Structure 1
Amino acid sequence: MPWLDWLSLFVRWFHVVAGVAWIGASFYFIWLDNNLRTPPKWKQDKGIKGDLWAIHGGGFYEVAKYAYGPEQMPQTLHWFKWEAYTTWLSGFALLIIVYYFGASAYLIDPSVNPISPSMAISLGLGVIFGGLTLYEIACRSKLANYPIAFGVCLIALVCIASYLSTQWFSGRGAYIHVGALIGTIMAGNVFFNIMPNQRKMVAAVANKQDIDPKWGASAKLRSVHNNYFTLPLLFIMISNHYPMTYQHPHSWLVLIAIMAAAAWIRHFFNLKHVGKTKPSILVTGAIAMLAITFWVSMPQNTVNDIQPNEETAGVSVKDSHSVGSKESMPITDAQVANVIETHCVSCHSRTPTDDIFSVAPVGVVLDSWEDIERFAPQIVRRASVTKDMPFLNKTGMTEDERQLLADWFAARQN
C-alpha cells in the first residue's frame, strides 16, 4: 500500500521535528535552571531568585527567575507543552501505522510468539498504558518521597517491560514498545503533573495567594525522570537500524544495559550544569558502552570471521560442479542465486511482489547476479550473521541455506 508508506514518511518526519523541539526545549531549560546565579540586591528586592546573561544570534539576553512570581501577570505568558503533546501524538500515530497496521510483518515474530495481530496489539497497548498506570500510582504514593527507592522501582518497571516485550514481540517490536512506554511516561508527566501544577502556580500568583511547595517539588521529580529518560529513548528511536542489538538472544538485557549507560552519561552533563565536573562518569560510561559492544559481538561472528564448512573449504564459488554428495560439495552460482531468488527477491527487487514492501527496503535490489555480488557483504551479514533477514524469516530460510551463503562468501575471500 504505497499510500501507507507516504503517510508513514510524513508522520515520521513530523515526529522527528516535534521530538527535536521537545528535547531541545527540555535540555535548554535544564541548562537554564542549573546556570542561574544569585542576582544583585536590586533584583532580589524585586523578587528575582536567579538570573543569567547570554549572547546568541548577535544579541544579548537577560533571563530572570522569580522566587514567587511577577508583581503582575504578563499579558503574554509562554507555555511549553505542545512540543511534548505533538511528539507523543505523532509517535503513537506512527506506532499504529507501522507496527499495528503491519503487525504481521513488524510486530509478530512466529519464532518468538506465534500470536494473532489483535492479541499482539492488545499486549502492546497493555505494556504502554499498564506501565503508565503503575508509574502514576507510584508517583502519587508515599514512595515518591524516597527518591532512591523510587528510582529502583522505576528501573525494575522498565526491566520487566523490556523482558516481557521480548517474550511477546519481534525484536524491533519489543524495543519500540519499551520506547513507547518511556515516551508515554514522559508526555504523561507533562500532561498529568507539570502542566496542572503550573496552572495552579499561575492562578495563585494572579490571585496573590501562597504557592504550595508541593507543586514545584512534584513537577521537579517528574522533570528529573524525563531528563534521565531522554538519551535511552533516543537510542530506542534509532535501534531498528541496528539488528545486532534487538536480534541478540538476550536482547532485553542489551536494551537495559545501553539505556543504563546512556542515563549514566546524561548524569555527567546534569552535574556539569551545576558546576560539578566528573570526567570519571564519562570514562566509566564509555567503558560500559565498549563492554556492551564486546559482549554483544563476541558470541556472533563478523563477516570476515565466517569460515566455510570442512566439506566446502577451498572450493571456488565459480566451480560449476553440481552438489551430489558429501565427497563433492562445491557451491555454485546457481545455488546461491536460487537461495536469493527464493527468500530475498520478493522484497529486494526493482518490482517487489511482497504483500508488505512495495519498494525494495533501503534500496537493496537483488534481481541479477551482478546485484548479488555487489551486495554480497550485506547479504551474508544480515542472513548469516545477525540472521534478521529475511524479515522475520517470513520466507522460511533454513539454517543450511544461511550456512551455504556464509560458506560461499568465505570462499570468495580465499
Structure 2
Amino acid sequence: MSLLPIFWEWAEFALRWLHVVTAIAWIGSSFYFIALDLGLHPSSDRRQGVHGEEWQVHGGGFYFIQKYMVAPARMPEDLVWFKWESYATWLSGFALMAVVYYLGAELFLIDPNVMELSNGAAIAISIASLAFGWIAYNTICKLMLGKGDTYLMLILYVILVVMAWGYTQVFSGRAAFLHLGAFTATVMSANVFFIIIPNQKIVVKDLVAGRTPDAKYGKIAKQRSTHNNYLTLPVLFMMLSNHYPLAFASQYNWIIAALVFLMGVTIRHFFNTMHAHKGMLWWTWGLTVGLFLIVMWLSTAGIFMQDKGEDEAAALGPMAQKFASAEGFEDVHDIVVTNCSMCHSREPYWEGMAAPPKGIRLETTQEVATLAKEIWLQAGVTHAMPPAGSYMALDDESRDAIRKWYEGAIEG
C-alpha cells in the first residue's frame, strides 16, 4: 500500500482540525468583545477615562468589567492581547487550502468546463486574488474614513459580489466558494494584523511615554473590528459549503453567495441590537428566512452541468491520463459506474437526492480517472463508500481490484 496518499489525507485532517479549533477561539473572542462593548453601561463612579462597565456572571463567579476610552491613566502591568487566534486561523486555513486546492489543483481547483488553466496559473490567480482583496478593501477604508460606515459597508458588499461572480468564472464551483471565504477571511485577519493591533500598540507606546493617546486610533480599530463581526457568518457558510453542492454547483451560485452575505448582516444585526439593549428586532429573522428560501429556490433552478461532451471528448490532465491508462482501469471503471453512479451522477437516481454528494460525479472516464485517489481511499482502503447497508455495497474482490489499480498506477 502506498503510504504517501495516506500521509497527505491525515495531514489534511490535522490542518482542518487545527483550523476549526483556532477559528472557534477567534470567533468566540470576537463575538464576546463586540457583545461586551455594545452592552456596557455608563460608569457608576464616573472614574476618569472609564467609558462604560458591566457586571457579568459565569462559571460560578461574578466579573466586573470596565472599558477605558481612550486608555487608562497609566499602563497596566499585565496586558492580554487578542491577536494570535486570528493569525493562527488564517495561517492554518491557508495551509489547508495549499494542501487541498494547490496540491490537488487538477481535481478541486480547476474545472476545464469553466476555464482552461494550468495548475501554476490557477494557484497564481488564487494567491493574487487574496492580496488584491486586502489592498482594495484597505484603500477604500482609508479613502472613506469619516464619511459614514453605511456607505463603506455598501462598497464592501459590492466588492464581495463582484468577487463572487469573478471566482465562479475562473474556478470550479466548490473552489469558488472556498476562495470567496478565504478572500473575506484574509480581509478580516489583515484587519487585525495591519490595523487593529498596530493601532493598539501606538496607544500603548503613548501610555508608556506618558503622552495622552489620540482617540482616532481606537475609533479606526473599532470600525475594522465591527466589519469583521458582520463578515464572520458568511465566511463560515463558505467554508462549510464544499459539503453541499446545491450551494456551489448551481448556475446561480454567485447570487447565492451574495445573498449569504446579506443573511450574515441580518443575523448579526439582531444580536448586536439586542446586546446594545435596543430591543429584539425579530423582523431580521423573517428577512433572513426569506433570503434563505430564495437561496433554496436558486439552488434548484439549475445545477451547474455545463459539460463539453462525452468523456471521449473531455481533456484528461496528466495525473488522470496516468490512471486511465493503468492496468485494471476498465474493470474499476465498470465497478464504479455500476455501484457509485446511482448517487454520483448528473441526475442522481437515489430517491430524495437532488445533487451528487459533494458535487462528485462518477460516470465518465475522465471523472473516474481524475478522482482516482478519492475512489481508492473511500472504496479501496476504507469501506466508507458505497454505504454499507445499500444494495450497491462492494465485495472484497471489487475493493481489491480498486487497490491494485490505484497502487499499480502510483508505483508505475
Aligned to 1:21: 25
1:12 match: 16
Equivalent residue letter for 2:38: N
Structure with larger RCO (C-alpha < 8 A, sep 6+): 2
Q: Which stretch shifts more, 356-365 or 148-157?
A: 356-365
TM-score, normalised on structure 1?
0.75
Residues 216-253 of structure 1: CA deviation (Å, up to 9, x unaligned): 12111111110110000010111001001100011111
* Structure 1 position 2, deviation (Å): 1.4
Match of 1:169 in 2: 171
Partner of 1:85: 87
- Structure 1 vs Structure 2 CA RMSD: 3.1
Matches within 5 A, 1:323-342: 337=338, 340=341
1:204 aligns with 2:214: no
Query: Is 2:106–2:119's contact at 8 Å kept on the other side of the alignment?
Result: yes
Distance 1:64 1:347, change over 3 A: farther
Map 1:192-341 → 2, pairs under 5 A:
192-276=194-278, 277-299=280-302, 337=338, 340=341
Q: How much has 1:292 moved relative to structure 2?
A: 1.9
Distance change >3 Å, CA 142–CA 344, structure 1 → 2: closer
Structure 2: any 5+ residue segments left out of the alignment? 304-333, 343-360, 395-412
Q: How far 1:275 moved relative to its partner?
A: 1.3
Structure 1 residue identity aligned to 2:295:
I
1:347–1:359: 8 Å Cα contact kept in structure 2?
Answer: no
The one-letter amino acid paired with 1:12 is R
Alignment of 1:87-166 (within 5 A): 87-142=89-144, 145-166=147-168
Q: Name the CA distance, whole Å, in 1 between partners of 2:387 and 2:153.
A: 53
Distance 1:343 1:176, change over 3 A: closer
Pick which of 140-149 and 270-279 moved more. Answer: 140-149
CA deviation profile, 1:74-101 (whole Å, cap 9, x unmatched): 2210000000000000000001000000
Partner residue of 2:36 out of 11, 16, 32: 32
Deviation of the 1:262 alpha carbon = 2.2
Kindly state the Cα deviation for residue 48 of structure 1 after the two structures are TM-superposed: 2.1
AA in 2 matched with 1:202: V
Give secondary structure in 2 for the equivalent of 1:37.
coil
1:347 touches 1:357 (CA, 8 Å); kept in 2? no
Check 1:185–1:344 CA distance in 2 against 1; reply closer, same or farther (3 A cut). same
Q: Say if 1:143 and 1:372 are closer, same or farther in 2 by CA, change over 3 A.
A: farther
Per the alignment, residue 365 of structure 1 pairs with 385
Question: What letter is aligned with 1:125?
Answer: I
Structure 1 portions without partners, runs of 5+: 301-332, 376-414
Matched to 2:284, the amino acid is I
Do the aligned residues in 2 keep the contact of 1:346 with 1:353 (CA within 8 Å)? no
Deviations 1:375-414 (A, max 9, x none): 9xxxxxxxxxxxxxxxxxxxxxxxxxxxxxxxxxxxxxxx
**Bigger radius of gyration, 1 or 2?**
1
Using the alignment, how far apart are the partners of 2:340 and 2:74 within structure 1? Answer: 75
Provide the rounded CA distance (Å) in 1 between the counterparts of 2:289 and 2:11.
38
Normalising by structure 2, what TM-score? 0.75
Instruction: Provide the secondary structure at the position in 1 that maps to 2:52.
Output: strand
Does 130-139 or 358-367 show the bigger shift? 358-367
Determine the structure 2 residue equivalent to 1:74.
76
Q: Is the 8 A contact 1:347 1:360 kept in 2?
A: no
Matching residue's letter, 2:10: W
Identity, in percent, stands at 36
Q: Given the alignment of the two structures, is residue 62 of structure 1 paired with residue 82 of structure 2, yes or no?
A: no
1:337-394 deviation line (CA, Å, top 9, x unaligned): 2885994699999xx99245541189642499x855469xxxxxxxxxxxxxxxxxxx
Match of 2:55 among 45, 53, 56: 53
CA contact (8 A) 2:70 2:214 kept: no
Provide the rounded CA distance (Å) in 1 between the counterparts of 2:128 and 2:302: 33
Aligned residues: 338
Deviation at 1:126, TM superposition (A): 1.9
